[in-house]
Amino acid sequence: MAQIKLAEALLRRKELQQKVDQLRSINSKELFEVKTGRKAAHEGLDDIIAQVPKLTASQVTAEYDHYAKQLRLVDAAIQHANWNTDVSVPDTVMADYADLKK
């Protein structure tokens, strides 16, 4: 398991979230639809035209799943640090918060 600074984990989480959002936004109908057409040519032969996607849906899904998993893992590590780390702040920072709890 790699040891990184919390700041690095926060940056990585942001980067992974952007990648997941980018992959989520892919319109699968437009990207993966195969279109074919047939038009008559000469001497009894037909000319077939096909548009075939460069990627398969499973390739995009696998990449999305990979980055989504990495995002969940780094987020869990950040949350773990969040709940197990205390920070020192001047008493005045929490003064009005303590008053609201009464």
pTM above 0.75, yes or no: no
Cα separations in angstroms, 83 against 29, 31, 32, 77, 89: 42, 42, 43, 10, 16
Q: Could you tell me which of 90, 88, 80, 66 has the C-alpha nearest to residue 6?
A: 80
Domain ranges of the chain: 1-71
Does the structure show a pLDDT above 60 at 24?
A: yes
13 Cβ contact partners less than 8 Å away, ≥ 6 residues apart:
71, 74, 75, 78
SS3 50: strand
SS3 47: strand
Does the structure show a pLDDT above 60 at 98?
A: no
Does the structure show a pLDDT above 60 at 84?
A: yes
